[in-house]
């Protein structure tokens, strides 16, 4: 793609960039008051994220000019490195900086380079961390309150379906009512995810700010598994939506090293089945868990989206000075 030298001006106004800077300062002040240590994590690593639904941007590095190069991966999140710090005894920590994801442009809410706020709180579970997130975002977004609904509650409210017990054919039929899609898949999560993204999330816009928690155990990612009030096995994780926009994703973090290893290997197997690149897994995370990580909760929050919501603008380009231009 040829770059037009005439397109030199920022997409965000200077006024919006000043507002953004004030919000960043407010975030840092919030954590300073709570004695949470700010840390800077590496943006590149020899290992990549395992999640089949995230794609890592790859770059090539050479030790010196003319030497053989090898791949490094721009990090989709500082999570793996931060957990290694937790195992080393850092205590409560937060990171406010860049993260990178392939295939994230072309939308009003996405940019392949974005700002992420991620923090970890030893001694907290997912419910307690939701309290802290609400304390952070309520003054920034001028909210009155943040509602909480379980994954089961939102499915029952919008679709009158229990996502844990509904037969696969029911999920498929319900999806086809709302989504024009040619797909054959025997995985329940495929259909649950389609219903969540295409039917339920748009309805959440009517609720303002809402935490959705206790996702199916099969969607645990890096969260612990627990029994809910009905005895159903669920993942101790949550997502925060504001005006229908996904803003944060949090967990009561997995601390079992062998379970973590199995999940990484399963992700790699899924990537192979999907024809996705096989990239080095971050086994140092497993070693860190073996050494011992404190029981804790952690969350990643999209800062660009937070600023977008705070300023009442419609596009992420209105709050980023120089977003990546599409080819």
| Token reading at 254 | 């997995």
Domain count, the chain: 1
- How many Å apart are CA 289 and CA 286, to the nearest integer? 5
Residue 8 placed within a domain: no
What's the first-to-final CA gap in the chain, in angstroms? 5
| Token reading at 107 | 């939308």
Please choose, from the candidates 279, 189, 262, the residue with its C-alpha nearest in 3D space to the C-alpha of residue 222: 262
In Å, how far from its chain's centre is CA 294?
21
Question: Helix, strand, coil proportions of the chain in percent (round to 5)?
Answer: 40, 25, 40
Whole-prediction pTM value? Answer: 0.94
Query: For residue 90, what pLDDT is reported?
Result: 98
Residue 174 placed within a domain: no
Range of the domain at 243: 14-143+208-318
Residue 149 placed within a domain: no
Residue 166 placed within a domain: no
| Burial of residue 23, with CB atoms counted within 10 A of its CB: 0-12 exposed, 13-18 middle, 19 or more buried | middle
Residue-by-residue pLDDT tens, the chain, 327 positions: 677 888 899 999 999 999 999 999 999 999 999 999 999 999 999 999 999 989 999 999 999 888 999 999 999 999 999 999 999 999 999 999 999 999 765 578 889 999 999 999 999 999 999 999 999 999 999 999 999 999 999 999 999 999 999 999 999 999 999 988 888 888 899 999 999 999 999 999 999 999 999 999 999 989 999 999 889 999 999 999 999 999 999 999 999 999 999 999 999 999 999 899 999 999 999 999 999 999 999 999 999 999 999 999 999 999 999 998 766
CATH number reported for the structural domain that contains residue 66 in this entry: 3.30.930.10
Residue 324 placed within a domain: no
Q: Which residues contact 177 (CB under 8 A, 6 or more apart)?
A: none
β strands within 124-208, DSSP E: 147-150
Per-residue pLDDT tens digits for 2-36: 778 888 999 999 999 999 999 999 999 999 999 99
Residue 70 placed within a domain: yes
Residue 228 placed within a domain: yes
Residue 267 placed within a domain: yes
70: β partners: 61
Per-residue pLDDT tens digits for 198-221: 999 999 999 999 999 999 999 998
CB 214 within 8 A of CB 221: no
Please choose, from the candidates 240, 248, 287, 286, the residue with its C-alpha nearest in 3D space to the C-alpha of residue 265: 286
């Amino acid at each position: 793609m040829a770059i037009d030298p005439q397109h030199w001006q920022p997409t965000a106004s200077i006024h919006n960039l000043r507002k953004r800077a004030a919000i960043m300062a407010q975030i840092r002040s919030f954590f300073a008051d709570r004695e949470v240590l700010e840390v800077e994590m590496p943006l590149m690593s020899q290992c990549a994220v395992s999640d089949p639904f995230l794609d890592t941007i790859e770059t090539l590095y050479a030790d010196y000019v003319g030497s053989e190069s090898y791949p490094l991966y721009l990090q989709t999140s500082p999570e793996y490195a931060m957990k290694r710090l937790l195992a080393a005894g850092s205590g409560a920590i937060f990171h406010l900086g860049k993260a990178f994801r392939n295939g994230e442009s072309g939308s009003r809410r996405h940019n392949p380079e974005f700002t992420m706020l991620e923090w970890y709180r030893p001694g907290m579970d997912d419910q307690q961390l939701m309290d802290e997130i609400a304390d952070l975002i309520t003054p920034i977004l001028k909210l009155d309150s943040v509602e909480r609904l379980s994954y089961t509650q939102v499915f029952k409210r919008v679709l009158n379906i229990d996502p844990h017990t509904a037969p696969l054919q029911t999920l498929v039929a319900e999806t086809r009512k709302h989504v024009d899609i040619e797909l054959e898949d025997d995985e329940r999560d495929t259909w649950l995810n389609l219903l969540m993204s295409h039917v339920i999330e748009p309805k959440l816009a009517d609720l303002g700010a809402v935490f959705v928690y206790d996702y199916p155990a099969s969607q645990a990612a890096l969260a612990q598994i627990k029994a809910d009030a009905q005895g159903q096995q669920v993942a101790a994780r949550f997502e925060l939506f504001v005006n229908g926009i996904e803003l944060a994703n949090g967990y009561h973090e997995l601390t079992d090293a062998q379970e973590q290893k199995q999940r990484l290997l399963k992700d790699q197997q899924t990537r192979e089945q999907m024809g996705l690149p096989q990239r080095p897994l971050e086994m140092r995370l497993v070693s860190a868990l073996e050494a011992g990580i404190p029981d804790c909760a952690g969350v990643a929050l999209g800062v660009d989206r937070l600023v977008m919501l705070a300023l009442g603008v419609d596009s992420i380009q209105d709050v980023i000075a120089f977003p990546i231009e599409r080819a």
